[in-house]
Amino acid sequence: MLLKHGLVSIIITVIATTTCSSQNTLTTDTVKLKAFNILVNRCNFCHATKKKQDVFTLLNMDSLARAINEQVFVKKKMPKGRKNRLNSLELELLQTWLARTKYKVEK
């Protein structure tokens, strides 16, 4: 499991650094990829097992930003389960990404 996640991170980082040409794009996309990494590791493992829950992808995460903000920061219902709490770094990263999407983060 850990090895698999590590590999996913490495692949994402390689994609991030090779596909972005301008500095600005690089910064924005790196934030998004880090947020995506959290959604994959901390959310999808569970969502993927239940019907009707969104499995987050790079393509759908922006349009789900509002729902993610609502569940994680406003209602604080996600990630479900006491063992699945996000650490402060993960929360901060998600907020940084949310602030960069069109959806404004409320606290």
- Using CB under 6 A, list all residues that contact ligand HEC: 39, 42-43, 46-47, 50, 53-54, 64, 67-68, 71-72, 77-81, 84, 86
How long, in residues, is the chain?
Answer: 107
Q: Six-digit token pair at 89?
A: 């770094």
Query: Least distance from C-beta 28 to ligand HEC, angstroms?
Result: 20
- Which of 20, 40, 39, 43 lies closest to 30, judged by CA? 20
Q: How far is the CB of 49 from ligand HEC (least distance, A)?
A: 8
* CB nearer ligand HEC, residue 16 or residue 42: 42
* Phi, psi dihedrals of residue 79, rounded to the nearest 5°: -70, 140
Instruction: Give the CA dihedral 102, 85, 60, 73, nearest 10 degrees.
Output: -30
Cβ distance to ligand HEC smaller for residue 26 or 62: 62
Please state the closest distance from residue 76 (CB atom) to ligand HEC, in A.
11
Minimum CB–partner distance for residue 18 and ligand HEC (Å): 27
Beta carbons within 8 Å of 33's beta carbon, 6+ residues apart: 12, 13, 15, 16, 58
16 vs 39, which CB is nearer to ligand HEC? 39
